[in-house]
Amino acid sequence: MTHKIVLIGAGSANFGLSIMGDLFKSEVFAGAEICLHDINAEALARTASFGRRHIERYNLPYKLEATTDRRAALQDADFCIISIEVGNRFELWEQDWRIPQQFGIRQVYAENGGPGGLFHALRIIPPILAICDDIMAICPDAWVLNFSNPMSRICTTVQRKHPDLKLIGICHEAASLPEHLPHILETPLENLRFQAGGLNHFSVLLNVFYRDTGADAYPDVRAKAPAYFERITNVLGWALPSLPAEHVATVGHRPWAERGLFKVILERFGYLPVTVDSHFGEYIQWAHDVVDHAGILDFYRTYKLWVAQKVSEETLLRGSGDDWVTSQVLESIAADRPTEVLALNLPNRGFIDDLPSDITVEVPACVDGNGVHGVALGRFPRGIAGLLRNQIAVHDLTAEAVLTRSKAAALQALLVDPVVDSVRAAEQTLETMLRVQQRWLGYLE
């Protein structure tokens, strides 16, 4: 069977080239039609040019198309992969971050959680909803993979409008566990069985066992992880090899780098976070007191430089690096190859007992030709469940604000957020953001 795969946001060369690179390596998708779509014609043409040269050079069996016409791109699509941003990504991100801080809101980052996560969501969800409107009208049986953030707020809102959409949220954060657990426990990855779950960028390792003995390995994680993370001096290895040496020299090399909050969660709650302070800390009202702020700034600065670096054919050859994303999800559905995946973002259909059914959660999943089957994780440890429940009203009201175009709901989303402790600060922040980002937030009434 020949498949058609549409990459929406393909003008982003890191996204477009890396996903094409994964597809070009796939036996399952040999002969597939790959359609690149973006609203930026110049950026789209650049990505398409790389792809066509690569196909020609290696005589690959793919048909590559590129168009700024989204409805044309979606015709007969089997898979749609979305990775978009709006406006000047980092200029807006820094407004999301600094303006709430100016009014006294102590948020530690501004991508997915806290006030910054709200404004990011309010900007990006409407265009993603428009994309999904077209998918439901043109190719309603297509599988839709969302890579955009804020992941949980996007997927929750889209599923409320389009409950029949075959939507999967994909994030690579859970890949940190296979990286670290074998070193912490001094045993091969193949000897470990584990599960993680929660909300995107707000998940923890729930359990871990030794396969050879069946013994619970979590006591060893709690005993050995502190010494291991004392030895790990930075968490930027994914970016450092490709960045200039003069920048690498400025990255912090401290024990527990970008893991101050991480350490507190492990010590006080007894569970290992899946991700680091910049991500986990967005959701917790006392995070500002314990996160590694220098590490967060290093992370942001390095990420900004990594995104800005010039891409090349090397990006195509390397692919995304997250083989579990492209191969395990896309190929498992297309070729009916049952596969277990560490984490996917799905509507909470009984997967986490402590959270409502209409919120998108991050859980392990089994993927096959019949689709995606989340793994039920039952009840969470009480402390972790409490942290997660603190976010439910925030996500709920974010969806309400977008779907009803309600400024009042947006304010309520701020006022129920644990990070916000002042009505005046919330109101001033909202009014300022509505003015500064009027182009994207002007729909709120």
Structure-token pair, residue 194: 């584990």
- What is the Cα–Cα distance from 197 to 190, expressed in whole angstroms? 20
Residue entry with tokens 């900004």: 304
How far apart CA 108 and CA 156 sit, in angstroms, is 24
Backbone φ/ψ region at 417: left (φ over 0), alpha (ψ -120 to 50), beta:
beta
Q: Which of 3, 54, 162, 172 is catalytic?
A: 172
**Number of C-alpha atoms within 13 angstroms, CB side, residue 103?**
22
As a residue count, the chain comes to 445
172 catalytically annotated: yes
Pairing label, strands 339-347, 360-368: antiparallel
Give 15's strand partners: none
Q: Which of 330, 418, 329 is nearest to 374 (CA)?
A: 329
Enter the tokens of residue 303.
Answer: 């990420």
Within 10 angstroms of residue 100's Cβ, the number of other Cβ atoms is 28
**Cis status, amide bond into 150, omega within 30 of 0:** yes
CB 419 within 8 A of CB 261: no
C-alpha–C-alpha distance, residues 384 and 101, integer Å: 27
**Cα separation of 133 and 347, whole Å?**
18
Annotated catalytic residues are: 172
